[in-house]
Amino acid sequence: MGQRTRAVLLALRVMTETRRVLVTGGAGFVGATLVRRLLASGHTVRVFDNYSTGHPDHLSGVDVETFEGDIRDADALDKALAGLDSVMHLAAAGSVVQSVADPVLNFDVNVVGTFRVLDAARRAGVERTVQASTGGALIGDATPPVDERSLPKPISPYGASKLAGEGYAYAFAKAYDLRTVALRFANVYGPWSARKRGAMTTFFQRLNAGQPLVIYGDGSSSRDYIHVDDISGALQRALELDLPGGTVLHISSGVETTARELAELCRAAAGRPDHPIEYEPVRRGEVDRNFANYELAGKLLGYAPTISREDGIPSTWAWFGEHVFQG
């Protein structure tokens, strides 16, 4: 059975009823796209965000209820979850580099915060949760492509915190029958990512400012870049389909892109193929090579990436030009 046929058949199994969903970090980069997608599909959505990395403007013009609060605040979560049946947990401290600089804060937000969200879901009688995890940082240095059978050996506090979050999700599934799903994101890019700390955003900012692009290492380190529309589609599927509690899936492009290739793609998107590049020493905590196999997500979600890097990076540059680099 082909991937497209499998996706069509799975679509027939998607639950027809709408869900009442709390999206933590819903005013962030991925949240801005996901919230719009869920609303367009008829779901009732409530956003919970402290705006530390997200921004209210990301949901400008979107008819959605918002709660300002921190995921470490159990009382605030209890209020936000009243009357809802599902949680999509995106809020996180998402920087590898910052996790190395301040591991205590990273632990507090990602481990304690995820526990608070799961425990609030348990108290509220929520039926299912879907949480954002990570592939490369969680697995650590391993020969790619990695998949759900790869042994996690995180080399940064960020990766360790996401592994702990997956562990708590699995435990809550088994101890409390909470239907938990963790999606291990590849490196996400696309609209609303101006506040995201990552190579592509930094490259775009430096291209716009006329500053040299900076690559850490010799340019051979690699990542798996996935467009936010594809990530949001997988998140919606994970919400709507009846997956077993404790499920973990890699959501990726399956394409290895080196830092040098990414710089070239960004320079081409900006129309500046000769823009200068500088090289600096490798930063601690960052894996050397990473890309992931999404075969299991294809089987369980009908997932397959739809936007190539050759199309997605130029369209993202165009979005930055329209929304970020004006004047």
Q: Which residues are catalytic?
A: 158
CA dist 288 and 297 (Å) reads 24
Residue 233 to residue 300: CA distance in whole angstroms: 13
Q: Nearest Cα to 162, choosing from 115, 97, 119, 200?
A: 115
Q: Nearest Cα to 316, choosing from 266, 245, 281, 280?
A: 266
Chain centroid to Cα 173, Å, comes to 21
- Non-local (6+) Cβ contacts of 141 within 8 A are 153, 155, 287, 288, 289
Contact 310, 256 (CB under 8 A): no
E strand intervals along the chain: 20-24, 44-49, 65-68, 86-89, 128-134, 179-185, 187-189, 213-216, 222-223, 225-227, 247-251, 257-258, 277-280
| Backbone phi, psi, residue 139, to 5° | -70, -40
Cα–Cα distance for residue pair 269/316, rounded to 1 Å: 9
* Residue 73 CB-density burial (10 A; 0-12 exposed, 13-18 middle, 19+ buried): middle
Can you tell me which residue has the tokens 């995890």? 133
> Do the Cβ atoms of 77 and 49 come closer than 8 Å?
no
Q: How far apart are CA 181 and CA 130, in angstroms?
A: 5
| Token code pair at residue 167 | 């562990």
| Strands 20-24, 187-189: pairing kind | unpaired
DSSP reduced 3-state for 284: coil
CA gap 50, 70 in Å, rounded: 5
